[in-house]
Structure 1
Amino acid sequence: RFSANNILGTEDNCLTLNVYAPMNIDRKLPVMVYIHGGGFRDGSGSPFIYGPEYLIEREVILVTLNYRLEVMGFLCLGIKEAPGNVGLKDQLEALKWVKTNIEAFGGDPTSITLFGESAGSASVMYHILSPMSAGLFHRAIMQSGSAMSPWSFQFEPVSTASALASQLGYNTTDPYELYNIFINTPAKKLLSARVPRARGDVVLSENIFVPCAEKKIDGSDQFLNDTPYNLLRLRKYTKLPVIVGFNSAEGYMFVGKENDTTISNMNFIDSLPRDLSFPTMEEKKSVADTLNKMYMDNKKISKQNLVKFSRYPGESGITYPVVATVDLMLQSSERPVYAYQFRYSGWMNVVKQLYGFAGAPGATHADELFYLFKLKAKLFQSYLELDMKDKMTTMWTNFAKYGDPTPADTQLLPLKWPQTQKKTPRLLVIDKQFTTAPLWSEQTLLFWNETYSKYRRKS
């Protein structure tokens, strides 16, 4: 595992699990397996961030895990030595282990909920899409990430690998040559190499070693054999109860990672999602011009209007793909779908504060996590947020126990979270007061839907 500044661990011991159980329970408990985010580039299941205390006090077993990341986990060359998706296959092995062994820890192997955030959420969706994962879990929670997000699927994996090889001083597109280059490059040097993003593009485009559709290879199972959109559209996935949602201001975190230079270069035509394909430059420019008008009123992007601009990467990279995922699931599954928007702005919105948006409204990417997990850093503010912590952990663990986040009206949760309906889809708005709102609540989301209906990349 590694972060932007530090490469930690070794490839040989990257697949590790943490199992947390409450004390003195004399019955089998529901199991919640969490997959961490980080754009398939970084992160870990460390208890420093994902402390188990809040969840296990609700009488569930919690499992967190690590898996191979970046080029180590998502090199996809279409050959037996590097078929692709080994990071997802690490997760698959973890799920198999949980199914086989969790009873020894007090867990119920017939009641497993898989959940994750960001790339972890996209990973959950990949397991729903893959026949290899069928039967290993029974419910799913997807927070702020979809396999249909433009940053979570690579369409030209050999070109991506070739671009990385060029940063190491090699010029080839031959899969076997690329494999030999990478296998003979020390891990730290390999993970330190970076393919520079295009001038004017957004930070999400840096997530390039991500899942792919695998070629059919004799003697190997395909974890994924088509694009996520096609599999969902064709109903080729495991139907099960799901919670799917996003945060109200996803983009603060992404624009908060930008610097003066990247902000000054930012523009709409160069930052269009990579899963769009335009037959002419005229059509591409027309879409970019419309987005510029909708998001910025044609004003220049600057540090002074980043809150305004943040809606663009947030909605294109997270919100629209999540809403589109909900929509496709409603069309193709009879199992319950519970959709949400997390809008709450409190003392434990740690990410919003970290990236300089403490005074801005709403919740940014990953802000909900600290109402579910206990951050090991001692923050006195957590004592001011016990109510939201109790609400979030109760809904999430209720779903793991009963398949329903609000099975009964209580003083803590007096508003029933309704299933999202196909005809007039609505979601739960999680804020100081819980309310409901239309799933397609923004004109910009409708424009994204129209754009993807015309220009979605097929393969």
Structure 2
Amino acid sequence: MLSTKWLVLWSLWAARLARQPTAPLRVSSGMLRGSVAQDGSHDAYIGIPYATLPGDSKFQAPGPEPIWNGTYEAIEDNVMCLQCQKNPFTGEIIDKSVGQEDCLRLNVYTPTFSLDSMLPVMVFIHGGAFIEGSGIPLFYGPNYLVPKGVILVTFNYRLNLPGFLNLGIKEAPGNAGMKDQVAALRWVQKNIKVFGGDPDNVTIFGESAGGASVSYHLLSPMSKGLFHKAITQSGSSLCPWAFQANPVHNTHRIAKSLGYDTKDPNELYKILNNLPLPDLVGIKFPKDLRQTIFSTLMYAPSIEKKIDGVEAFMSEEPYQLLTKGNYTKVPLIIGSTNEEGYFFIGADDAVVTKSILDFKLALPNNVEFPSEAEKNRVAGEIRKLYMGDEPLSKSPSATVKLSGYYGDPFLIYPSLAETELLLQSSDKPIYNYCFKYSGWRNVGKAFAGRDFLSESGATHADDLFYLFHQPFMSWLAWFDKEMIEKMTTLWTNFAKYGDPTPVTSELVPQRWLPSTATDPRAFVLDREHSTVPLWFKDSLIYWRDLYYKYRRK
């Protein structure tokens, strides 16, 4: 009798783990079938090919989506584009190449309940400095967002050199990774109705390099009409690390590290095209220990030359496009965490342990000075601004102070500067936020190290863990369920209505109002509700004034 009971219990448990397929759907490539989530909260279609790799050159725009016979089983959940695998605690490269070449896949998550009307669509673009990351459900699970009545799409795009090599020639025109993103958005427009989604109500959102990508889609003519609202989290096209000003020079540096000394674009192309893709993503730039970690980020979107037969993603600098008002005007949410720098100084172990940062060498790459004396003077001002009279050291006090330099000019200031430019010309609402919540799911802060765990506020990527489900952190959700509920409500309200607080509630008792040019303010996302001036600390005002004077032309 006992054994029979155990057999029944085991069968019930095993049935929960067995895949329950969805009904087949027809997309532009053919028939498709996904799986019902084990908790019944959503249907998941994982690893759908949305485009093919280019045939002529590995550095060109993607080809059309593949066509298949039979029914495609959309269940492959671990596909990522080629990248280096790093130790998450030390940043050291463990494997020079993980992932696969055939990686242009996306995931669609739909609620299991049905509605009479089509659902809003939220398309998330992952971060990772354009060199790593993926849209896999291990990190970007739908369990918190989708039950609120939206369809979630995540996807991969080419990274590193395969995604961002720009030699100004037809074989390597630039921005292949951004064109992958456009291909994913075009696939959504073509197919999302099949899943119950509304192609006329698409919100794109992203964090870090994903946030910068969203900012770029506002600027690119290729992306026009593919989305209707946008959210940038801790990223902007104005971030110094998010734009390649001289991609051919960068490629020359890459070739030189491989033993080739040429600046000819065609020669550079031959060298790199003959190397296997896994070898390309494993190239690591030597870092000057007197600079910040941002100096090693060489791969990013760039201006494309006009080439016959090639559709350009971007032909002018982001700052110029924003200044002219030449961008897609849609409702926006723009924000960052209040202590972005904790994460990055935590990853920049050499600077902390050796304490040899040189502010003159570590200045953002998009400022320039009329003389060396002026550059030295400004570097001294910045050192004083962040460190006061305290010397650089690995003491917690010095590390926390220095972290402000890692956050302000490289992440927080660019989002605020973008907001100012948008407010000059957009007739759509712009909602600014400052995420300050410190809870059990602040993974970025934990990654930064023990010096920061006792500090208040939030750092880079912390907000993601209150929007997305990670199966390895499910047990922590209970401690922060109110913040998860708050963040997902605000984000999905915006996707539905273009307003994060169309009504107030006990959860969010205060309206989040859009910024105005005369009184720009940010909504504070924390345990309590408040607003702060857009330029919420003196160091940010310093950077605003510095860029007015020294922004690179």
TM (normalized to structure 2)?
0.81
Alignment equivalent of 2:456, drawn from 353, 358, 361: 361
Bigger Cα displacement from structure 2, 56-65 vs 437-446: 437-446
The DSSP-based 3-state class of the residue aligned with 1:450 is helix
Distance 2:243 2:330 in 1: 23
Contact 1:260–1:303 (CA under 8 A) maintained in structure 2: no
Distance 2:378 2:474 in 1: 44
Q: CA deviation at 1:91?
A: 0.2
Q: Which residue of 2 aligns with 1:343?
A: 436
Distance 2:212 2:440 in 1: 27
Q: CA deviation at 1:379?
A: 4.6
Q: Which residue of 1 aligns with 2:465?
A: 370
Contact 1:138–1:240 (CA under 8 A) maintained in structure 2: yes
Contact 1:96–1:136 (CA under 8 A) maintained in structure 2: yes
Distance 1:249 1:316 in 2: 12
User: Do structure 1's residue 266 and structure 2's residue 357 form an aligned pair?
Assistant: yes
1:28-427 equivalences in 2 (<5 Å): 28-260=118-350, 263-304=354-395, 305-356=398-449, 357-427=452-522
Contact 1:54–1:372 (CA under 8 A) maintained in structure 2: yes
Distance 2:127 2:471 in 1: 18
Contact 2:292–2:351 (CA under 8 A) maintained in structure 1: no
Distance 1:9 1:292 in 2: 41
Q: CA deviation at 1:412?
A: 1.3
Contact 1:200–1:267 (CA under 8 A) maintained in structure 2: yes
Q: CA deviation at 1:85?
A: 0.4
Match of 1:19, as an amino acid? V
Q: CA deviation at 1:64?
A: 0.2
Q: CA deviation at 1:384?
A: 0.7
The DSSP-based 3-state class of the residue aligned with 1:53 is coil
User: Do structure 1's residue 433 and structure 2's residue 552 form an aligned pair?
Assistant: no
Q: CA deviation at 1:368?
A: 0.3
Distance 2:496 2:161 in 1: 37
Q: CA deviation at 1:179?
A: 0.8
Bigger Cα displacement from structure 2, 116-125 vs 177-186: 177-186
Distance 1:126 1:88 in 2: 9
The DSSP-based 3-state class of the residue aligned with 1:21 is strand
- In structure 1, list runs of 5 or more residues that go unmatched: none
Distance 2:274 2:195 in 1: 40
Contact 2:445–2:458 (CA under 8 A) maintained in structure 1: yes
Give identity over the alignment, percent: 49
Q: Deviations 1:84-137 (Å, cap 9, x if unpaired)?
A: 000000000000000110010111111000000000000001111001100000
Distance 1:410 1:261 in 2: 46
Match of 2:456, as an amino acid? P
The DSSP-based 3-state class of the residue aligned with 2:473 is coil
- In structure 2, list runs of 5 or more residues that go unmatched: 1-80, 87-93
Q: Which residue of 1 aligns with 2:105?
A: 16
Distance 2:128 2:296 in 1: 11
Distance 2:390 2:361 in 1: 17
Distance 2:470 2:193 in 1: 27
Distance 1:365 1:282 in 2: 34
Distance 1:46 1:300 in 2: 43
Q: CA deviation at 1:350?
A: 1.1
Q: CA deviation at 1:434?
A: 1.2
Distance 2:473 2:224 in 1: 40
Match of 2:276, as an amino acid? P
Contact 1:199–1:270 (CA under 8 A) maintained in structure 2: no
Q: CA deviation at 1:231?
A: 0.4
Contact 2:238–2:319 (CA under 8 A) maintained in structure 1: yes
Bigger Cα displacement from structure 2, 135-144 vs 290-299: 290-299
Distance 2:473 2:210 in 1: 25
Q: Deviations 1:391-426 (Å, cap 9, x if unpaired)?
A: 000000000000000000112111100110110111
Distance 2:471 2:379 in 1: 43
Q: CA deviation at 1:445?
A: 1.1
Seen in structure 2, the aligned counterparts of structure 1 residues 362 and 171 have a Cα distance that, compared at 3 Å, is same
Q: Deviations 1:416-451 (Å, cap 9, x if unpaired)?
A: 001101101111011110100100121111111111
The DSSP-based 3-state class of the residue aligned with 1:339 is strand
Match of 1:318, as an amino acid? L
Contact 1:55–1:393 (CA under 8 A) maintained in structure 2: yes
Q: Which residue of 1 aligns with 2:4?
A: none
Contact 2:289–2:351 (CA under 8 A) maintained in structure 1: no
Distance 1:245 1:90 in 2: 25
Distance 2:430 2:247 in 1: 32
1:446-457 equivalences in 2 (<5 Å): 446-457=541-552
Q: Deviations 1:265-304 (Å, cap 9, x if unpaired)?
A: 2121111000111121111111111101110004222221
Aligned CA RMSD, in angstroms, stands at 1.1
Contact 1:198–1:270 (CA under 8 A) maintained in structure 2: no
Higher strand share: 2
Number of aligned pairs?
Answer: 457
Distance 1:413 1:282 in 2: 51
Q: Which has the higher contact order (CA 8 A, sep 6+)?
A: 1
Distance 1:431 1:24 in 2: 31
Distance 1:378 1:140 in 2: 27
